[in-house]
Amino acid sequence: MHDGKDFALDPRLAGDTHFVGDLQLSRVLLMDDTRFAWLILVPRHANLRELTDLDIATQQRLLSELNRCAHAMQSLFTPDKLNIAALGNVVEQLHVHVIARHMQDAAWPRPAWGFGEREPYAPDARDTRLDALRRALEISGA
């Protein structure tokens, strides 16, 4: 699937993340925060805010891609719990978080959103993580 006409990634999402790759529907992003293994999926259609803005077939495609990301996160990070959430109180563009949470992580058991300050990846750690995610998701970063 090509990008939907007029799709443009929200600049705040772009600024807080690294590009992992594109699935059929969704752009997959890595939150630039070493405290959490944290993906964000953004369906590449213009003018989406709510899950209910997608027709049911496209929602099912998103669900399938969420499963793919969830399994990759479980395989790579063996989380104690996945947090899967579409919030959008700050960034309106529809996006879904998939966060691998651990009982030892900085925010546990609180939500990761708005918790303290991001701790950006150093370039080598970022590249290592992106490579691992692309392999687990079987997508290219091109």
- Residues at the site binding a second copy, with contacts judged by CB under 8 A: 49-52, 56, 59-60, 63-64, 66-67, 70-71, 74, 81-90, 92, 101, 108-111, 113-114
Least distance between a second copy and beta carbon 60 (Å): 6
Least distance between a second copy and beta carbon 125 (Å): 25
Least distance between a second copy and beta carbon 122 (Å): 28
How far apart (Å, rounded) are the C-alpha atoms in residues 82 and 55?
Answer: 25
Long-range contacts (CB closer than 8 Å, 24 or more residues apart) made by 25-30 = 25/1, 25/58, 25/61, 25/62, 25/65, 26/62, 26/65, 26/96, 28/69, 28/133, 28/137, 28/139, 30/126, 30/129, 30/130, 30/133
Is omega for the bond preceding 109 within 30 degrees of 0, making it cis?
yes
In this complex, which beta carbon is closest to a second copy, that of residue 47 or of residue 64? 64
In this complex, which beta carbon is closest to a second copy, that of residue 44 or of residue 68? 68
In this complex, which beta carbon is closest to a second copy, that of residue 20 or of residue 96? 96
In this complex, which beta carbon is closest to a second copy, that of residue 9 or of residue 85? 85
Least distance between a second copy and beta carbon 88 (Å): 5
How far apart (Å, rounded) are the C-alpha atoms in residues 41 and 73?
Answer: 13
